Amino acid sequence: MIKIGYVRVSSDQQSLESQIEFLNKIGCEKIYMDKVSGKSSSNRIQLNEMINYVREGDVVHVTKVDRIARNTVDALKIADQLQAKGVGIIFHDLGEIDINSDVGRVIYTTISAFAEMERKRILDRCNEGRARAKAAGKNLGRVKDVILHKKINELFNEGMNKNLIAKSLKCSRSTVYRALAN
Length of the chain: 182
Confirm whether 15 is a catalytic residue.
Answer: no
Q: Identify whether the C-beta of residue 46 lies closer than 8 Å to the C-beta of residue 32.
A: yes
DSSP string, 154-168: HHHHTT--HHHHHHH
Q: Which of 88, 79, 82 is nearest to 111 (CA)?
A: 79
CA distance 91 to 7: 11
Task: Output the CA–CA distances (angstroms, integers) from residue 53 to 28, 31, 45, 88, 169, in the order listed.
Answer: 14, 11, 12, 13, 46
Which residue numbers are catalytic? 10
